[in-house]
Amino acid sequence: MAAVSWPERIKFLPDDGGFPGPWFAAWADGKPDFRCVAASKLEQAVRRSTMQ
């Protein structure tokens, strides 16, 4: 399998075993928890009007 070259805007995201973790996810024990949205990220998204 070929190595993936991530776009610049993705490269800064936390790494979860070789894959970028989502910005909005809550993290527990070094892993993204997709069941939860980090409350602080939700507030930022609403303030920046990135969620519609």
The DSSP line for 1-52 is: -PPP---HHHHTSPEETTEEPPTTEEEETTEEEEEEE-HHHHHHHHHHT---
The tokens for 7 are 């776009």
Domain assignment of residue 2, yes or no? no
Q: Which domain holds residue 26?
A: 11-48
Q: Say if 5 falls within a structural domain.
A: no
Count of domains for the chain = 1
Question: Structure tokens of 14?
Answer: 């936390």
The model's pTM = 0.50
Question: For 1-52, how does the pLDDT look when each residue is reduced to its tens digit (9 = 90+)?
Answer: 456 788 888 888 887 777 787 888 888 888 888 788 888 888 888 888 755 5
- CB-based contact 37:45 (threshold 8 Å): no
Residues 6+ apart with CB under 8 A from 21: 13, 14, 15, 27, 32
**Inside any domain, residue 4:** no
